[in-house]
Amino acid sequence: MLILWDGSRVNCDVLDVDSQHIHLRVICKVTQVSFIVIVVYPVYCIVERRKLWDHLTLVGSSLTLPWIVVSDFNCYSSSNDKVGGVLSVRMISKIC
């Protein structure tokens, strides 16, 4: 994962990094407003994704600043959500 920001507009402090996410505190230089950004790139393995969700739940319950999770989770929970490619019912059953 690569995260870029405009240092003339915001300060970013990296709070945590692992193979599936980068956790940042962002401070706007103009307004001094702080917030948390968690950029997620989940792995394909459902077991590892569940670990990520557990981690995000724990982090979210302890944060006092506004926060957002940004990602392309690249999965779907319903066949109606799927556009293009081959529909894999096996993948849907692994998520649920």
Q: Where are the domains of the chain?
A: 10-95
Residue 27 CB partners (closer than 8 Å, separation 6+): 10, 11, 12, 13, 33, 34
Stretch 57-77: mean pLDDT, rounded?
A: 84
Confidence of residue 88 (pLDDT cuts 50, 70, 90): low
pLDDT at position 86 is: 61
pLDDT at position 11 is: 97
pLDDT at position 44 is: 76
C-beta of residue 14 within 8 angstroms of C-beta of residue 23: yes
pLDDT digits (tens, 9 = 90+) for 9-60: 999 999 999 989 999 999 999 999 999 999 998 887 888 888 888 988 999 8
SS3 string of the chain? CCCCCCCCCEEEEEEEECCCEEEEEEEECCCCCEEEEEEECCCCCHHHHHHHHHHHHHHHHHCCCCEEEEECCCCCCCHHHCCCCCCCHHHHHHHC
pTM of the model: 0.71
